[in-house]
Amino acid sequence: MLTRKTALACLAVLLCAAPLPAQEDLRKLYYDAAAQWLDGRPEDAAGALKYVVYRSSDLDLAGAALKDLAALLAEAGKNAEALAYLTKAEIMAPEDFYLHLEKGWNLLSLEKFQDARAAFEKASTLTADQDLASQARLGQAMAEAELAGPTAAIDGLRSIYTRYPYLLSPAAQLISSNLVRIKKRPHAVNFIKEALTYDPRNIQAEIDLAHLYEDSDFYVPAWQTFYTLADLDPEETYFGEKEKKLRKYVKGKIDNLLYWARMAWPSHKDPFPQDKNPRVKIGLYADRDGALSLVKSFSFISASDFEIFDSRLGRVISGKSGMQWTISYDEMNRIYELRDSMGATAHTTNNSLRIAPKAPGGVILIKNPEMPAAHGVNRGDKEVSGELTALSRGDGFWLINETSLESLVAPVISQLADGSKMAEQLKALAVTARTRLTRLARMTSHTGMEHHLCDSAHCLPYAGLQAASAAAAAAAKDTGGEVLLTADSLAPADFHRACGGLTRAGISDGGRPLPRLTPFTFYAHTLRAPADGLYCLAEDKTTASDVYWTLLLKPRWIEARLNRKQKIGYLRAIIPLAREPGGRVKAVRFEGTAGSAVVQGQQAIAAALGAGALRSNLFSIRPVFRGKYPDFFILRGLGTGEGEGLCVLGARGMAKARAASYREILRHYFPIYKVGRGR
């Protein structure tokens, strides 16, 4: 084993013999390199780090620069160069776990599998930390698959799968792929389904499952899965073509075999209170961008007697409660037809139709909406209160519900909280949701002026009144009228599902503190699982993918998304450019054989990498090569959402672990706002 004295002697041979500048200047240059990296200039940062490495006689400074340099080079797919710098760093710190781990990943990409396995094995002996040891075992299993075959790899992966909850989804995904190699497809199907159970946003596992179902002759599940993928990524023609090809195996009505909620009768009979509550118009069946879907047909049942008004002719129908009526667009005659519960035509028109319950706030159940061209839209049956308008729009109509804003609060927070019954969490959510809904209702946030809000995540997801739990309804009632204020104005109240430790504003939820960010320290931070005391971490660690997640993404689908608009050819590298001080990626450069493309902004990056399924933009990325091109990219990320405002799962943790009141929760996440009554 090298002593520090021997290491110094060896290092002297490696370092340039030119006169050394003042040491503090080199340290400043090192921190300037970190700033260049954060600013989106990785090549400039690498150049500065190389200068520090070759000019510094400070072992600690040189060692830190070597790690950062190796991290930048490996991220860019320059594995041989990264390996050379890691070898230099190993002379100074031969027992450093990270150096051997990184050697393993670079050797794996260089297809030096035996050396990679040895490096991962060595790394495993240098740490007692379960997080780090599990990362080493993951790489070792990948090397083992090439050396001893898939059965040996499966044995190694099972040790992660059974012992370490934070890598459940990628471990199950790799077990599945190795089972395919030994032609055990039924078992492979089970494991890839497990990968999706532990991380429902693992889009690569969804793609793998679709192909496995098809290859195993499970045609209806294959059709359902390709349909889901086509809905998630409608511009990917491959998914659409597969869905159409497999549709011939489907018997019965297609919508009934998918994941849309269906209801026989309204679950609410009594009208919703309307007094003193501001009324809003909410556009129904909106996509992720807030655009309303064109509805061709729907049925409805009113829980109270109702009237139907033609926008030009006035009242045309009076109907009774509990009867199912249908409104549809007749494409041949280009008219709208209103049919009664017996199927008889009651009215035809070219105008918009408005359904108005006679009891103010009366409930209407919307059933079986048909939207052939809609993608990424929740097409489930939906209960609404107040009036419902079928607004004529060319070859169909938009559905717009005019209702009390307060009636939206309980269903919205029920969805956000996944049915949680933690009263104080739900109250905090109610105040925040009410604030956001009120603020959005006063803004122009949609292209048309026919509605104030929409029912998708563009505003806040709203599945209908039936989605509200009794606990959520109680929380909304207990906080009635309360909103977040800054001075005398509504605060910009936002949500995210899980912060992963720190919100964007720097509010700590008990996670691991961020190190001073450099290319290596941030990467190392993403190797570590969340702290046990983290508020947004559930007691059941198998459900931790909202907080800590790892994805193995194949380049084929990323290339396909990018090549639709910018021809990059085959993907060679994905380089995160500018990052926020907290590490969130602001821009990414995709380098291909035919060119490069820079993508900016959280939504655009998520769309390129995962068709919108990417949890957050707080992640590190590392390619693993086979030959000249990446076989897959490893993304290790923290949190879900943009990190703005209230952490939904963190609020639950505060309410449960600290018995915090909803006002304490709100003060934690919104320290400069106050709770008051809206105007």
pLDDT, tens digit, for every residue of 295-349?
Answer: 999 999 999 999 999 999 999 999 999 999 999 999 988 999 999 999 999 999 9
Closest CA to 559 of 533, 591, 516: 591
Closest CA to 71 of 39, 33, 23: 33
- Contact between 547 and 530 (Cβ < 8 Å): yes
Residue with the two structure tokens 């395919």: 180
What SS3 state is found at 493?
coil
pLDDT of residue 18: 44
pLDDT of residue 609: 96
Using CA of residue 165, residue 169, residue 170, residue 173, what is the dihedral sign? Answer: positive
pLDDT of residue 517: 95
The two three-digit tokens of residue 678, written as one number: 């809206």
Which positions ≥6 away from 7 have C-beta within 8 Å?
A: 59, 91, 92, 93, 94
pLDDT of residue 553: 97
pLDDT of residue 572: 95
Closest CA to 679 of 475, 427, 490, 436: 490
Closest CA to 428 of 226, 588, 653, 158: 653
All structural domains of the chain, each given as residue ranges with its CATH number in brackets, are: 4-245 (1.25.40.10), 279-490 (no CATH), 495-644 (no CATH)
Q: What is the pTM of this model?
A: 0.92
pLDDT of residue 261: 86
Closest CA to 162 of 130, 132, 187, 185: 130
Alpha helices in 315-422 (DSSP H): 406-416
pLDDT of residue 322: 94
pLDDT, tens digit, for every residue of 49-76?
Answer: 999 999 998 999 999 999 999 999 999 9
Between CA 164 and CA 159 the distance in angstroms is 8
Ranges in the chain, pLDDT < 70: 1-24, 445-448, 678-679
pLDDT of residue 447: 61
Residue with the two structure tokens 């670079």: 106
Provide long-range contacts, Cβ within 8 A and 24+ apart, for 272-276: 272/361, 272/363, 272/385, 272/386, 272/403, 272/404, 272/407, 272/465, 273/361, 273/404, 273/406, 274/360, 274/361, 274/386, 274/404
pLDDT of residue 277: 74
Amino acid identity, residue 390? Answer: A
